[in-house]
Amino acid sequence: MINNVISPEYNEEGRVMRRVRSFVRRQGRLTKRQEEALESEWAEMGIDFVNEPFDFAKLFNNSNPVTLEIGFGMGASLVTMAAQNPDKNFLGIEVHAPGVGACLASAKEENVTNLRVMCHDAIEVLDFMIPNGSLEMVQLFFPDPWHKAKHNKRRIVQVPFAEKIRSKLIDGGVFHMATDWEPYAEHMLEVMTSVAGYENVSTTGDYVPRPESRPETKFEKRGQRLGHGVWDLMFKRI
């Protein structure tokens, strides 16, 4: 049912370096709620990887704009966004099976119908399943910052990745990133500023205040209490 990449590392082209492990080998780490959701909700909301482009209108049974979130964690904010925006469609990709199970459980509890999820390498999904010019927004919230300088090249936000995201956005579509690690925010800003075909939404040329469209997570609120900052970046395809 699910093939997932665990704790992915990325090379300079944005491709996962650590490869696929099976859901079956990981299921001992699932809670009962997560396992039950994977079993009962996958057929309705889960998408298996295939080497074939999406027909989003067919997938969602409507022509509403599509937002893609890469690495949605436990899915709390993604489910909230989908519940608050029934006139939009959401596709989430997460490589950690317990997070996918938690997201499916929450979506079921909130009666969310405009959300689909995948448990696969996002780069392969982008390459083989996301048509060019099909997404209104791509969201990348709190990706692994790879703190050590020698590991910085493993960060997913690199020039080839940014160019790939741009190709998937509609004209005027937005790539929205957020991080609580300031050096990574600076890295993101440097990368995104260097890529042609993007315009920084920030009026100050750097970061934007957290938009209402991005719900605060429990992790984020806890960090704020400890004095940690959060940096949001939004770049529009032009």
Catalytic residue among 48, 55, 87, 144: 144
The boundaries of the domain holding residue 148 are: 31-235
Q: Is 144 a catalytic residue?
A: yes
The amino acid that residue 105 corresponds to is A
Long-range contacts of 207-214 (CB under 8 A, 24+ apart): 207/231, 207/232, 207/233, 208/232, 208/233, 208/234, 210/178, 211/176, 213/81, 213/85, 213/176, 214/77, 214/81, 214/139, 214/141, 214/176, 214/178
CATH number at residue 157: 3.40.50.150
Count of C-beta atoms within a 10 Å radius of residue 148? 8
Q: What is the pLDDT of residue 226?
A: 80
Residue 153 lies in a domain: yes
| Run of H or E including 165 | helix 159-168
Round to whole Å and give the CA distance between 180 and 119: 24
Going 23 to 74 to 150 to 167, the CA torsion angle's sign is positive
193: exposed, middle or buried (Cβ count in 10 Å: 0-12, 13-18, 19+)? middle
How would you classify the pairing of strands 169-179 and 135-141? parallel
Domain count, the chain: 1
Residue 76 lies in a domain: yes
Residue 159 lies in a domain: yes
Q: Is 74 helix (H, G, I), strand (E, B) or coil?
A: coil
Round to whole Å and give the CA distance between 132 and 136: 11
Mean pLDDT by 10 residues, the chain (238 residues): 50 53 47 96 97 97 98 95 98 96 98 97 97 98 85 90 98 96 95 98 97 86 82 97
Give the annotated binding-site residues for S-adenosyl-L-methionine: 69, 94, 121, 144
Q: What is the pLDDT of residue 173?
A: 98
Residue 25 lies in a domain: no
Residue 176 lies in a domain: yes
Structure pTM?
Answer: 0.87
Residue 21 lies in a domain: no
Q: How many residues does the chain have?
A: 238
Residue 1 lies in a domain: no
Q: What is the pLDDT of residue 1?
A: 55
Could you tell me if 37 and 62 are in contact, meaning their C-beta atoms sit under 8 angstroms apart? no
Q: What angle in degrees, to the nearest 10, is found between the helix axes of 76-84 and 97-109?
A: 30
Residues 22, 24, 29, 30, Cα dihedral to 10°? 110
Give the annotated binding-site residues: 69, 94, 121, 144, 148, 180, 217-220
Q: pLDDT digit string (tens) for 45-87?
A: 999 999 999 999 999 999 999 999 999 999 999 999 999 999 9
Residue 114 lies in a domain: yes
Give the annotated binding-site residues for substrate: 148, 180, 217-220
